A and B are shown apart, each in its own frame.
Chain A
Amino acid sequence: MNIRLFFFLATLAAVAFGQGLTQSTLLKQPTDSWPTYNGDYSGRRFSPLKQINSSNVHTLSLAWATRYNRNPNSAGATVPIKATPLMVNGILYFTAPNNVWAADARTGRELWHYEYPPNTGSTIGNRGVGMYGNWLFFESPDSQLVSLDARTGKQRWKVQIADPKLDYTSTVAPVVIGNHILVGIGGDHLDNPGFLESRDPETGALQWKWWTTPRKGEPGIETWPDEYSSSHGTGQTWIPGTYDPEQNLYIVGTGNPNPVMAEKSRKGDNLYTCSIVAINPDTGKLVWYFQPSPHDVHDWDAVQTPIQFDGVIDGKPRKLIAQASRNGYFFVLDRTTGKNILTKPYIETLNWAKGIDAKGQPIPDPAKYPTTDGVLVSPSSNGATNWPAPSFDPDTGLFYVGTSRPYAMFYLTDTDDHPEGWGGRDTGVGGDPGALLAIDYKTGNIAWRHEWPSGNGVTHIMTTAGRLLFTANGDNLIAFDPANGKILWHTGLTAALSAGPITYMLDGKQYLLVAAGDTLYTFTVNQPAK
């Protein structure tokens, strides 16, 4: 079905069944809801709201804080809320592994709590739900896609998306585009193939499946020794991508190739691992790709949110997409073609590349491939950044990312001609503390930086038209001026920020909501009495 016609019909259908998330809401930038992982399809995590702003942020105060308790005997009981909550029609929907909650956004009061049955899947995290009408979708640790009725928390159906015994880990927040539920996957210890697939929102039936590495006869197979190595080359899709409705492109990052640190059996660029790929969500066909880390050997997934925005390059308006990649490089691409516009390192310690090729892709230095006696590389396998959300503020034209500059020794542990799994390990050997960076997309230059005195610099970010940037360091939630990096406000939480902050308007009040550990906090500025 033509996607525009679909959206029209879907909007009619949504109106007909009252509550729920309409497709037209997903296509605009809503301020009365936060309907997707990134708040809107662009991935900017920028809100046009400005009731909370740089002039009154010093009065920002707690509206409510609520703990969400899990059954202490259930798997994943200690994993924090890493889900970016959705807020739709005054209801919050969020997850932890094996757990989904609905809560009243006005009070934090729990409306329902769904517990998935005990299982042996990985409970490393869950990034949240996707929503379509009144249906919610989330991934279980044992790789089922589960659909719930958002009104009751009752399970509608579940479908198996991968074999959990093959070390697939399922943590991704599904992305809803038209009548497609886009489902990604993780896991890279057993050399299993990565994929992105689309499911029917009503039945869970498979619509299409795109393997992230090519099979025999497909473009890109020439970047592997053979089909066997490609089909065991992994390249997982464990962070939601972004969507350009005008071109109907779903743009998502893919993970590292396998075996992770032992590259002997996979010579070549290893497409489409560590890549940014544009997929037609109706067909599952690849439209373009760009590879931030050709032939990666350091576990530097390129899954970091590729943020879409329109900008001006050399005086001409351009449709852009930018990623601060885990390998330490900042990339700006033309999102209609995938052609590179800018490549620049954003950490100064980076030491693993010999330069940039004609396509704007870093050229890995073989001298920095893991060895049995170890090579010193920066960043470490944790990367210069990681999955926590970056943000782009169209008012400042700056791209914000939480960063780290660790060094690590990368050791090869599997010298076999047919290595398995990771085939190596890295051990951290120190480095400077992390920094919050504001990057100018036109030059790649650092417009400002805030060096953290301690703690992990790789943290979640959100910006708003109220001239505010929200992020965290340690257990502190902090508001910055996005133009210059000045700290404007902070408060202490009971744990480190565990998911991206969100904001929305409810009953005429702008709320800031953050997750830290098992607790959600909301903040508002007090309004003058009427």
Chain B
Amino acid sequence: MRYLELTSLGILFFAAAALGQSQSKADNSNAASAAAIAGSKEDPKAVDRGAKLFATHCGGCHGVNAKGGPGAPDLIRSVLVLDDEKGILIAPVLREGRPDQGMPKPNLTEPQISDIVAWLHVQTYAADHRTTYTFLDVVTGDPQKGQAYFNAAGKCNTCHSITGDLKGVGKKYEPFALQSKWLQPRSARGASPSDSARSAIQVTVMLPSGESVSGKLDHIDDFNVSLYDSSGEYHSFTRDGAAPKVELHDPLKAHRDLLAQYTDADIHNVTAFLVTLK
């Protein structure tokens, strides 16, 4: 359940591509993501130590990632762990164990207990904050098929060139960011000014006098359209139904139209191809 926030998103409805961290392959270790450690405000060194201590002392039953094992509960869903602050609830369990429930006393020092508490807090924080989630491997496609799609069905080569604008693109972006950026160039964070200028929507307003004014679209709704012309001057016009006539040109229309045409394999193949453009 994510609540939709009402924000004006410009001419195209697009959500910001979340260019989070990614990694080259699924990581089955229990190291916490940097974003989750930062967000949880726990000491990174303590968290790092806690990860190793947990794996050694607790992972055998609870799993190295604390998601539970045969007879031992998932600690990320544990009400005791979730309700804990500063180890007040967790530390007594780590000191004494829970012999009545089959959990032996782990024999940990107080600093070790603190480290495990810090690591557990990062685990629950991470589960609770999806913006800290780490994207996994997106390079699963066939680069040759991707190249074929680029030059034929996708018609990417009509606007792009692997020796021109896309030269070295596989070196410039790590794969997840690259896939997000080529699917929706406008929404990618950190776009350069030249990229922004290239993808700006152009508008022409044709006045009843026969005069027309063109430039970069500033805003459009049912009642107003405004733009900046090539000299940087601002123009604003009242709209009333079809008057004045307004024509929009979106340089990224091809990207938008392709959304209804791609297969998922096409997407993965193109990414695999672009990754090779080092």
Which of A28-36, A46-54, A456-464 forms contacts with chain B?
A456-464
Chief secondary structure at chain B's binding surface: loop
A408 to B260, CA, bound (A): 12
Interface presence of B206 (CB below 8 A): no
Interface presence of B179 (CB below 8 A): yes
Q: Which residues of chain A (432-479) have a CB below 8 Å from chain B?
A: 432-434, 452-459, 473-476, 478
Which of B9-17, B145-153, B207-215, B227-235 forms contacts with chain A?
B9-17
Given A372-B136, A376-B259, A418-B74, A381:B13 Cβ within 8 A: no
A473 to B239, CA, bound (A): 15
A496 to B8, CA, bound (A): 8
- Asked whether A422 lies within 8 Å of B18 as measured between CB atoms, the reply is no
A375 to B259, CA, bound (A): 11
Interface presence of B112 (CB below 8 A): no
Interface presence of A420 (CB below 8 A): yes
Q: Smallest CB–CB gap between A126 and chain B, Å?
A: 11
With a CB–CB cut-off of 8 A, which chain B residues contact A459? Answer: 6
With a CB–CB cut-off of 8 A, which chain A residues contact B124? Answer: 190
- Asked whether A420 lies within 8 Å of B67 as measured between CB atoms, the reply is yes
Interface presence of B140 (CB below 8 A): yes
With a CB–CB cut-off of 8 A, which chain A residues contact B165? Answer: none
- Asked whether A428 lies within 8 Å of B16 as measured between CB atoms, the reply is yes
Q: Smallest CB–CB gap between A489 and chain B, Å?
A: 11
Interface presence of B187 (CB below 8 A): yes
A191 to B134, CA, bound (A): 19
Chief secondary structure at chain A's binding surface: loop
Given A376-B264, A408-B15, A497:B3 Cβ within 8 A: no
Q: Smallest CB–CB gap between B195 and chain A, Å?
A: 15
Q: Which residues of chain B (81-96) have a CB below 8 Å from chain A?
A: 82-83
- Asked whether B133 lies within 8 Å of A425 as measured between CB atoms, the reply is yes
- Asked whether B221 lies within 8 Å of A429 as measured between CB atoms, the reply is no
Q: Which residues of chain A (281-309) have a CB below 8 Å from chain B?
A: 299, 301, 303
Q: Which residues of chain A (383-438) have a CB below 8 Å from chain B?
A: 383, 386-388, 404-409, 411-416, 418, 420-422, 424-425, 427-434
Interface presence of A165 (CB below 8 A): yes
- Asked whether B9 lies within 8 Å of A427 as measured between CB atoms, the reply is no
Q: Smallest CB–CB gap between B271 and chain A, Å?
A: 8
A468 to B115, CA, bound (A): 63
Q: Smallest CB–CB gap between B9 and chain A, Å?
A: 6
- Asked whether B262 lies within 8 Å of A376 as measured between CB atoms, the reply is yes
A475 to B224, CA, bound (A): 12
Interface presence of A180 (CB below 8 A): no
Closest to A378 in B: B259
Q: How large is the interface on A (under 10, 10 to 19, 20 to 34, 35 or more residues)?
A: 35 or more
A191 to B82, CA, bound (A): 12
Closest to B15 in A: A428
Given A378-B259, A420-B76, A496-B6, A301:B14 Cβ within 8 A: no
- Asked whether B179 lies within 8 Å of A433 as measured between CB atoms, the reply is no
Interface presence of A313 (CB below 8 A): no
- Asked whether A163 lies within 8 Å of B79 as measured between CB atoms, the reply is yes
Of the candidates B180, B219, B220, the one whose C-beta lies within 8 Å of that of A429 is: B180
Closest to A192 in B: B77
Given A191-B77, A376-B262, A416-B65, A406:B2 Cβ within 8 A: no
- Asked whether B14 lies within 8 Å of A453 as measured between CB atoms, the reply is no
Please encode chain B, from 227 to 265, with 1 for each CB lying within 8 Å of some chain A CB and 0 for all others: 000000000000000000000000010011001101010
A387 to B2, CA, bound (A): 10
With a CB–CB cut-off of 8 A, which chain A residues contact B110? Answer: none
A130 to B255, CA, bound (A): 47
For this complex, 23 residue pairs linking A to B, each with C-beta atoms less than 8 Å apart, are: A167-B128, A190-B128, A255-B1, A260-B1, A299-B1, A372-B138, A373-B140, A376-B183, A381-B2, A406-B13, A411-B136, A418-B63, A418-B67, A420-B127, A422-B130, A429-B259, A430-B12, A430-B183, A431-B256, A432-B12, A432-B256, A454-B11, A474-B221
Known pairs A382-B2, A433-B13, A476-B223 / 9 extra A-B pairs, C-beta < 8 Å:
A190-B128, A255-B1, A373-B140, A375-B264, A411-B135, A413-B133, A422-B133, A433-B11, A454-B221
Q: Which residues of A contact B (CB under 8 A)?
A: 124-125, 163, 165-167, 171, 186-191, 232, 234, 236, 238, 255-256, 260, 299, 301, 303, 349, 367, 371-376, 378, 380-383, 386-388, 404-409, 411-416, 418, 420-422, 424-425, 427-434, 452-459, 473-476, 478, 487, 490, 496-498
